[in-house]
Amino acid sequence: MSGFLPLNEVVGLLRVQRHDFLNHLQVIMGFLQLNKPEQALAYLRKISAQLQEAGKVMRLPWPELVAVLLLAEKQAEQDQVDLTIEVAVNMANAKVDGMTLAQSLGQLFKAIFPELLKYPVESRLLRVRLAEEKGGCLVTLVWPAGGESDFSLPVVNVAKQVSGPSIKHVNWDINEGYCYIELLIL
């Protein structure tokens, strides 16, 4: 993984996750100490639901992609971006070069996040969908178009440069106020 994802980023991600875990334990302990077991249970259910959603990403068969998506979640939290990652189906049957998939998505994230910072916080959203298609992985990214600058241009430039023998097509469009990019990786 060295050279692709700097280890300091991965270690930073682990530190954030550890910190979040400890915070959750402290909140639960606080509710219990205040003799509020109902709130502790409600909080535990909420956290369990969040962990189940995160588990879909963690179960992806490509560790490089898992790392890129987790780092994107960390970046989204720092930048106050509403990031949703949807894993449409079990991707275990998709025969994909995980490194190409991770690098392509990582390059697009590096282009999209700085552009989203130009938006008011309430307009910063990014949707990522992973679905199995034709034995490969179809990645769809959706975010608001427009704003103070046409931020689709830098991202489209990156999308044009995303290439590799396993990337079968890259499409982009602006429709109904949203930018779309699709990558089909086989």
**Domain spans of the chain, in order of start:** 1-58, 62-185
129 within 8 A of 139, measured Cβ to Cβ = yes
- At the top level of CATH, the class of 62-185 is alpha beta
**Tens-digit pLDDT string for the chain (186 aa):** 444 667 788 788 888 888 988 999 999 999 999 999 999 999 999 999 888 878 888 888 888 899 999 999 989 999 999 999 998 876 777 777 788 888 889 999 998 999 899 889 998 999 999 988 877 888 999 988 865 445 566 777 787 777 666 777 778 887 888 888 888 887
Query: Integer distance in angstroms from the first to the last C-alpha of the chain?
Result: 21
- Which amino acid makes up residue 54? A
User: 3-class SS at 138?
Assistant: strand
User: Which CATH code is given to the segment(s) 1-58?
Assistant: 1.10.287
